[in-house]
Amino acid sequence: MTDVRVERAELNRGTPVMFRDFGTHVRLAHDPQQIEEAAALALLCLRMPQLVGNMQVRRAQ
C-alpha cells in the first residue's frame, strides 16, 4: 500500500497538478481552482497505474 499525500496549492495557470514519487509515498499537489481532487487522483493513477487499488490517500491538514 502506497501513501498518497494530497495537498492543495496555488499552481501556475496550465499546471493543475504536480506530483513526486518518493518510493515509500507519493506527494500530490493540486490547484483546486483548476482541477478537483478526484480528477487529480485519476490523473495520478494514469501516470502511475500501480497505484490503482493500492493507495492510501492522506490529506494535508
Q: Could you give the CA distance from residue 61 to residue 55 in angstroms, rounded to a whole number?
A: 19
pLDDT digits (tens, 9 = 90+) for 5-60: 999 999 999 999 999 999 999 999 999 999 999 999 999 999 999 999 999 999 98
Q: How many domains does the chain have?
A: 1
Residue 4 pairs with which residues in a beta bridge?
A: 26, 57
Range of the domain at 52: 2-59
Q: What is the pLDDT of residue 60?
A: 87
Q: Could you give the CA distance from residue 58 to residue 40 in angstroms, rounded to a whole number?
A: 14
Q: Is the pLDDT of residue 61 over 80?
A: no
Q: Could you give the CA distance from residue 51 to residue 1 in angstroms, rounded to a whole number?
A: 8
Across the chain, where does the E strand assignment appear? 2-8, 17-21, 25-30, 55-59
